[in-house]
Amino acid sequence: MAEVVLVHCTSYDNHEVEGAIRRGIDLLGGVKRFAKKGERILLKPNLLAADPPEKCTTTHPAVFGAACRIFKETGARVSYGDSPGRGSSASVAAQAGLHDVAVEEGIPLDDFQTVVEVSHKEGRQNKKFSLAKAVVDADGVISLPKLKSHALEKITGGVKNQFGCVPGFLKAEFHAKLTNAFEFGRMLVDLTNLVRPRLYILDAVYAMEGNGSRSGNPRKMNLLMLSDDPVAIDATACRLIDVDPELIPTIVYGQEFGCGTYLEEEIQLSGDPFQEFVCPDFDIDRGPIEKYVSGSGSKLAVVLLAIIKIKVGARLFDNLLISKPQIDASKCLKCGICIQICPTQPKSIDWVDGDKSQPPRHDHNRCIRCFCCQETCPEGAIFVKKPLLRKIFGKY
């Protein structure tokens, strides 16, 4: 039986957050269950990008600070780190407000530069990983995810948070190789099974909805969630925001690969009542992730789609039905970051005829829909466009 603790927390006031997390950890059996004197404990927040805390891109400094203090008390040697989508860990930690807290608490930023190859024989899809040295050296990892909508995997929470254990540019290789949400989700589960964080403290005091995981809007949920089961924590979060957990690859494969459970009858909730945090109008796509491609859905819809595919050709069919990244030219500052981050060669987004005075343009015939450009754009100028046919067929 998995245990997920829901704790009410109305603000990022340091005192309130720390009290809520202490209460949650006590309900799970106390902090000594998760760290012992002398152990190396790595705190792994979400440091996706260099945004200030109020943007809700990253784990809030108040949550991080509380975790620092609580785990320091165990006598463990506590460090922290993450590998952001772009930029150095230090600069992102500074902008996100974690650096100052870490200095105050005497917690060092650990080594997320050095790459260590690790074999993972039990991996169901990925048998080896390149991990940050800090992760390999740690006796235990405490994962501090943020609840956010996500263009590729629909949500980012417990399971997805471990992707930052893969250093810098190596993340792009996974995007280039694993070109759909299902393959990518399987890799994330393999990775989480390898890293095996001892505890997850999910920050949903303010979550992010809409155009996440960087350019969405803060959504107040007054909630901190704690568990040692990342699948159960993600599935419970999904139920709170009215998303079917069976639509999330990291949750479905998480169950299948023994990473945790999403079944309601196998999850014991404790702490504050579930109903206090229900958020049915959370802005998120509740449709399936391109499931029609594998032929699921009603028979009539599948037959119609097969006919359309033959008639128009596979490429055009994909463009007519699969959600795609789109640029809002009015928001674009022509910085070119989206081009740098695109993992395909040649690039699937580029300047038109080299003209940097105009926004870049996507080549949707080449694009693998990893949505790295959407996730990384600092201006929120890239959004996910759902084609009309997809909207129609998605219902069936």
Q: What is the contact surface with ligand SF4 in residues (CB under 6 A)? A: 325, 327, 332-338, 341-342, 344, 348-349, 359-360, 362, 367-373, 377, 379, 381-382
Output the smallest distance, CB 340 to ligand SF4, in A.
9
Nearer to ligand SF4, 107 or 327 (CB): 327
- CA 351 centroid distance within chain: 29
- CA 381 centroid distance within chain: 20
CA distances to 99, 110, 128, 205 from 10, in Å:
24, 31, 41, 7
Output the smallest distance, CB 302 to ligand SF4, in A.
26
Residue 234 — φ and ψ, nearest 5°? -70, -40
3-state SS, residue 347: coil
Nearer to ligand SF4, 2 or 338 (CB): 338
Nearer to ligand SF4, 49 or 204 (CB): 49
Q: Is there a contact between 115 and 121 (Cβ–Cβ < 8 Å)? A: no
- Which tokens sit at 245? 């957990």
Whole-angstrom Cα distance, residue 222 to residue 201?
Answer: 14
For residue 146, the surrounding DSSP H or E stretch is strand 146-150
Nearer to ligand SF4, 63 or 151 (CB): 151
b/e code 324-342 from CB counts within 10 Å (16+ = b): bbebeeeebeeeebbeebb
Nearer to ligand SF4, 269 or 370 (CB): 370
Residue 262 — φ and ψ, nearest 5°? -110, 0
Output the smallest distance, CB 296 to ligand SF4, in A.
24
Nearer to ligand SF4, 41 or 49 (CB): 49
Output the smallest distance, CB 10 to ligand SF4, in A.
34
Nearer to ligand SF4, 158 or 343 (CB): 343
Output the smallest distance, CB 328 to ligand SF4, in A.
8
Output the smallest distance, CB 345 to ligand SF4, in A.
10
Output the smallest distance, CB 372 to ligand SF4, in A.
4
Output the smallest distance, CB 151 to ligand SF4, in A.
8
Nearer to ligand SF4, 335 or 389 (CB): 335
DSSP 191-258: HHHHH--SEEEEEEEEEEESSTTTSSEEEEEEEEEEES-HHHHHHHHHHHTT--GGG-HHHHHHHHTT
Q: What angle, rounded to 10 degrees, do the helices at 299-312 and 314-321 form? A: 130
Nearer to ligand SF4, 108 or 336 (CB): 336
Nearer to ligand SF4, 247 or 384 (CB): 384
- Which tokens sit at 310? 């033959």
Output the smallest distance, CB 214 to ligand SF4, in A.
10
Whole-angstrom Cα distance, residue 121 to residue 195?
Answer: 13
Output the smallest distance, CB 333 to ligand SF4, in A.
4
Tell me the β-bridge partners of 96.
none
Tell me the β-bridge partners of 352.
355
Q: Is 288 left (phi over 0), alpha (psi -120 to 50) or beta?
A: beta
Tell whether the torsion through CA atoms of 279, 283, 289 and 295 is positive or negative: positive
- The residue type found at 16 is E
